A and B are shown apart, each in its own frame.
Chain A
C-alpha cells in the first residue's frame, strides 16, 4: 500500500464523558417508569392474568436485549478467535454491549424468582399435572422424565451458571482490552486469542442451554434440535446491528468520527446480511423438516403460529420483514456504505429481531394444551420494551462512562484504519 494511514486516534471526542450521567439518569428513569407502567397496564387491561401478561411481555424484551448482549459477546470472542484486524475499531462498543450481560442477570430475577416460589404463569411445567392440558389426563411418566430437567431449582442453577460464564467472559475481554489501552502490550492480544477458543466452546454450550430454557421450554411438549441455532443466528445478527447502530449514533454525536470508517460500517452490514441469510436458512430448515415429516408432536408448534389468522400475519411479516426485505436492502454496496441508510437499517433489523422473539414467545400465552389464545397485541409489551430498553441504555452509558470508545493501542489498529473494501 502506498498511502498508509497512521495508527493514531485523531477524533476530538472518544468518550461519552459527562453525557453518560445525563443519558444514565434519563434512560434509567424512562426504564423504571416503563416497567411500572407496563405492570399497571397489565393490571388494567388483563385483569385476570395480569402477572402472566406482564411476564410474557417482560420475557420477550428480556430475551431481546440479552441476545443483543450475547451477540456482541460472540462478536468479541470470534474477533479474537480469528485474529481479526478489520473489526478492531468497533470492538470496544461490542465489549461494552457484552458487559451489559452482568446487570442483565439482575433483570432476569423477575423471571427466576417467581419460578422458584412456584409460580407457573410463564413456565407451565412448574406445576405438577401440566401434561393434563395436552393429553386430558396427567402423563406421569413423561412429567417425571421431563421434570428431571424442567424443575425450577435446576433451571435456576443453569441460569446462574450461564450468566456467570458470560459475565466472566465479558469481564475478561473488557478488562484485558482496557489494560491494553494503557500498556499497548501485544501479549494481551495473544492472551485473549488463546482464551477465545475454549471460551467459544463454553459460550456455545451455554447459549444452547439458555435457548432451551428460556424459550423452548415455554412449550414443554415441543422440541427441535435446530432451536438453539435459530436463537444463535438472531443473536449474532442483532449484536452486529446494535454495534453498528451504537457506532453510527456515537458518530452522529461527534464521537469517534475518524476511527470507525465507512468500511467498518460496510463490513458490519455484510455481517448482518450474512446472518440474515443464515437465520432464514436455519428457520426454513426447521420449518421445512417439521412440515415435511408431519409428526403431530412437532407440527402443533407451527400450527398455532400459522392457523390463527392473527399469528399467520405475524409469521408472514416475520418471513418477509426479517428475510426478504433486509436481503434486498442490504444487497447494494452503496447502501451499506451510507451511514444514514445504515442507521435506519439497523433500527429496522433490531425491531425485526424483537418480532422474532415475540413470535416465538407470545403465542404460548394462554395455551390450554389444545388451543392458543388468539393474537392480541397489548401495550404491555411495548411498555416493557421501552422500560427494559431504557435500563439497557442506562447500563451501556454506565459501563461506557469515561472509557474510550475505541481501543487506543491495539496492535492491529492500523489494519482496521487502513482497510478498504474495494
Chain B
C-alpha cells in the first residue's frame, strides 16, 4: 500500500537556490497514484470519517427540515425585523461566499503566479469552493420570501409576467455573479478532475466504479495533443477565473456599498471584501486539510510546507483586512460626516461592541501568532487559529450588516437584533450540508490532483 513513512525531511526550510520538495516520503509516480487513489478504492474509510459523517449528515437533514419549516411558516421564523431586514441570512450568505473564494484563488491566481505548491491542495480547495457556494446560494434563495417565484431573478421571457429583472439593482448582480462563479468553478473543478478520473477508471477492479469513473472521465487517454489543448484551456479558465473571483466578492460588497446606510458606503469595500474572502477561505482550507491529510494518509502530498504557505497567506490577507479597518476608521473621522463617524463609534463602543471586538481579536490579533514559525507549522495550533479566523470573519459580516442596519438614520426605529433558534439552527445546518458534501467528496473522488502533483514531484531515478 501507500508509503506514508514520515521522512525526517523538513521541507519548510528552503535554501535559496534549491526549491524545497513538495512531495515527501520519496514517493514515485506510482506511489503518488496509489496514495491518492487508495482513499476512494478501499472498502471502508477510517473510523474518523464515519464519526464525522454521522455527525454532519443529521445536521444537514436538520437544515433541510428547517428550510421546509421556513417555507410553511414564512420568513417570520427568523429574527429579522424592521430595521434589520437583513440579518443571519445575509451574514451566512456573505460568509459562505467568502469561504468559497479560496478554491478558485488557489487554482487560478496561484496558477498564474506559478506557485507550484498549489498542486497539493487545489483539488480539495476547489471542491470546498463548490460546496461553500452551494451553502451560500441557499441563503439568499430562501430569504426572498416567495421562494416559488425565484425564477423571476433570471431574465426569462414570459408572457404572463410581462416583466424583466431590474439590471441596475446590485441584488441582481449578485445572482449573476454567484451563478457564474458556481458554474465556472464547477467547470474548472471538473476539468481538473478528468485526468484523475481516468486514473481511477484504469485502476478500478470492479465493473460499477469502472463504468461510473469511465463515463465521467470522458474517455481521457492522456494524449499529448489533448494535454496541449487541456493546458491552454486550463490557463484560459484560470485567466478568466481570476477576475471572476475578484468580481464575485466585489459585487457582494456592492450590495452594501452602493447604498447610503452609514457604515456600508465606503469605496474600499470591493478589495477589502475580496481580501477578507481569501482570508476566511484559506482558513477553511487549512481547517479541513489538516484532518483530511491525517485520516487519509496524504501527509506526504499535503505537507507542512503547503500548510505553512497557506498560513502565510492568512497573515497577509489578515493584515490587508486590518489595514482596511484602519482606513475605514480614519476616513470616517477625516471625512467629517456625522452619521458616518457615529456608525463607526457605535461599532466600537455601541450595543454590538462585543461583536466588533470578537471580530478584531480573531481577524487582526490572533493571526499575528502565525509570525512564529512554531505556530504556523503546528497542525493543531493552526487549526485552532484558523477556526478563530472564521469565527472572526463571520462576525465581521455580522458587524457590517446588523450594526449598521440596527442604527440607521432614524433613531426612532433603532432596535436590538435577536436571532431565533431557527437562525442558529440554519447557521449550524449549513455547516452540516458543507461537511457532508466535503466528506462524500473525500470518500469517492481524488482529494489531491494526481496528475498535477506528478508534475512537481521529484523526477524518478532509473
Q: Which residues of A contact B (CB under 8 A)?
A: 82-83, 86, 142, 145-146, 149, 186, 189-190, 193, 197, 201, 204-205, 208, 212, 223-229, 274, 277, 281-282, 285-286, 288-290, 292-295, 297, 410-412, 414
B398 within 8 Å of A (CB atoms): no
B214 to chain A, nearest CB (A): 32
Whether B266 and A225, one on each chain, are in contact in the complex, defined by CB atoms closer than 8 angstroms, is yes
With both beta carbons as reference points, the residue of chain A lying nearest to B320 in the complex is identified as A204
A416 CB → nearest B CB, Å:
12
Give 6 nearest A-B pairs by CB, closest first.
A411-B17, A225-B268, A226-B267, A189-B16, A292-B258, A411-B16
Which of B39-47, B74-82, B90-98, B328-336 lies at the interface?
B328-336
Interface of B is mostly: helix
Q: A225–B333 Cα gap in the complex (Å)? A: 12
Q: How far is the CA of A208 from the CA of B268 in the complex (A)?
A: 12
Q: A83-B16, A293-B258 are in contact. Are A226 and B268 (CB under 8 A)?
A: yes
Q: Which residue of B lies closest to A143 (CB)?
A: B336
- Residue contact A146 to B267, C-beta cutoff 8 Å: no
Q: Give bound CA distance, A289 to B114, whole Å.
A: 33
Q: A146-B334, A190-B16 are in contact. Are A293 and B259 (CB under 8 A)?
A: yes
Hey, which chain A residues are within 8 Å of B15, CB to CB?
A: 186, 190, 411
Do A186 and B17 have beta carbons less than 8 Å apart? Answer: yes
Query: Measured between C-beta atoms, what is the minimum distance from A237 to chain B in Å?
Result: 16
Q: Which of B94-125 contact A (CB under 8 A)?
A: 112-114
**Cα–Cα distance between A364 and B327 once the two chains are bound (Å):** 23
Question: Pick the contact of A412 from B16, B254, B259 — CB < 8 Å?
Answer: B16
- For residue B139, give the distance in angstroms from its CB to the closest CB of chain A: 24
Contact check, B268 vs A229: say whether CB atoms are below 8 A apart. Answer: yes
> Nearest-CB distance from A162 to chain B (Å)?
16
* A-contact 0/1 string along B312-340, CB 8 Å cutoff: 10011001000110011001011111000
CB-contacts of B386-416 with A (<8 A): none
A142-B269 contact in complex given A225-B327, A289-B254, C-beta closer than 8 Å: no
B267–A290 CB distance below 8 A: yes
Q: Is B267 in contact with A224, judged by CB distance below 8 angstroms?
A: yes
Q: How far is the CA of A412 from the CA of B337 in the complex (A)?
A: 52
CB within 8 Å of A: which B300-315 residues? 312, 315
Contacting pair B336 A142 (CB below 8 A): yes
A-B contact pairs, 22 of them (CB 8 A): A145-B336, A146-B336, A197-B315, A204-B319, A204-B323, A208-B323, A225-B327, A226-B271, A229-B268, A229-B271, A277-B243, A281-B246, A281-B250, A285-B267, A285-B271, A288-B254, A289-B266, A293-B260, A294-B260, A295-B260, A410-B16, A412-B17
Task: For A189, give the chain B residue with the smallest CB separation.
Answer: B16
- The digit string for B235-270, where 1 denotes a CB below 8 A from any CB of A, is 000000001001000100010011110000111111
B202 on the interface (CB 8 Å rule)?
Answer: no
Q: Could you say which of A145, A225, A274, A412 has the most chain B C-beta atoms within 10 Å of its C-beta?
A: A225
Q: Give B263-314 interface residues, CB cut-off 8 Å to A.
A: 265-271, 312
Q: Are A223 and B334 in contact (CB under 8 A)?
A: yes
Find out whether the CB atom of B267 lies under 8 angstroms from the CB atom of A289. Answer: yes
Interface residues of B (CB under 8 A from A): 14-18, 112-114, 170, 243, 246, 250, 254, 257-260, 265-271, 312, 315-316, 319, 323-324, 327-328, 331, 333-337
**Given known A-B contacts A281-B246, A285-B270, A225 and B16 have beta carbons under 8 A apart:** no
Q: How far is the CB of A3 from chain B (nearest CB, A)?
A: 15
- Chain A, Cβ-Cβ closest to B17: A411
When distances are taken between beta carbons in the complex, the residues of chain B under 8 Å from A295 are 260, 265
Residues of A within 8 A of B112 (CB): 274
| Smallest CB gap from A190: residue in B | B16
- Docked CA distance A229–B324 (Å): 10
Q: A83-B16, A149-B334 are in contact. Are A285 and B258 (CB under 8 A)?
A: no
| Bound CA–CA A146/B246 (angstroms) | 34
Residues of B within 8 A of A186 (CB): 15-17
Of B16, B254, B267, B315, which contacts A286 at CB under 8 A? B267
A286 CB to closest chain B CB, in angstroms? 5
What's the minimum C-beta distance from A199 to chain B, rounded to whole angstroms? Answer: 13
Residues of B within 8 A of A146 (CB): 334, 336
CB-nearest residue of chain A to B371? A197
Name the distance in Å between A385's Cβ and chain B's nearest Cβ. Answer: 29
* Complex-state Cα separation, A193 to B324, whole angstroms: 25
Task: State A83–B305 Cα separation when bound (angstroms).
Answer: 14
Chain B residues with CB below 8 A from A225, complex form: 266-269, 324, 327-328, 331
A22 to chain B, nearest CB (A): 37
On whether the beta carbons of A297 and B267 are closer than 8 Å, the reply is: no
* New A-B pairs, 15, CB < 8 Å, besides A281-B246, A285-B270, A286-B267: A186-B15, A190-B16, A197-B315, A208-B327, A212-B334, A223-B335, A224-B331, A274-B112, A285-B250, A285-B269, A289-B254, A289-B257, A293-B260, A411-B15, A411-B18
* A-side contacts of B312, CB under 8 Å: 197
Closest A residue to B261 using CB positions: A293
**Chain A residues whose C-beta falls within 8 Å of the C-beta of B258 in the assembled complex:** 288-289, 292-293
A289–B265 touching, CB < 8 Å: yes
Give the distance in Å from the alpha carbon of A288 to the alpha carbon of B250 in the complex. Answer: 12
CB-based contact A289/B269 at 8 Å: yes
Chain B residues within an 8 Å CB radius of A289: 254, 257-258, 265-267, 269-270
B271 and chain A: residue at smallest CB distance: A229
Chain B CB within 10 A, most for which of A224, A286, A289, A293: A289
Expressed in whole angstroms, the minimum distance between the Cβ of B455 and any Cβ of chain A is 13
- Whole-angstrom CA separation of A299 from B266 in the bound complex: 13
Report the separation of the CA atoms of residues A224 and B319 in the bound assembly, to the nearest whole angstrom: 20
Q: How far is the CA of A412 from the CA of B461 in the complex (A)?
A: 24
Q: Which residues of A are found within 8 Å of B269, using beta-carbon distances?
A: 225, 285, 289
Give Cα A331–Cα B17 distance, bound, in whole angstroms: 32
Determine the distance from Cα of A205 to Cα of B319 in the docked complex, in whole angstroms: 11
Say yes or no: B323 contacts A205, CB within 8 Å: yes
A-side contacts of B333, CB under 8 Å: 145
Chain B residue with Cβ nearest A270: B112
CA distance A212 to B327 in the complex (A): 10
Residue in B closest to A229 when the chains form the complex, CB atoms: B271
The complex places the Cα of A212 from the Cα of B192 at a distance, in Å, of 44
Q: Looking at B17, B114, B267, B323, which has the most chain A CB atoms within 10 Å of its CB?
A: B267
Contact of B335 among A83, A226, A229, A297 (CB under 8 A): A297
CB distance from A422 to the nearest CB of B (A): 10
Q: Across the two chains, which residue of chain B brings its CB closest to A224?
A: B267
A residues within 8 A CB of B265? 289, 293, 295
Query: For residue B266, which residues in chain A have a CB less than 8 angstroms away from its CB?
Result: 225, 289
Q: When chains A and B are docked, how far (Å) is the Cα of A205 from the Cα of B16?
A: 29
Smallest CB separation, A236 vs chain B (Å): 13
Q: List the A side residues contacting B328 at CB < 8 Å.
A: 225
Q: A149-B334, A290-B267 known; A201 and B319 CB under 8 Å? A: yes
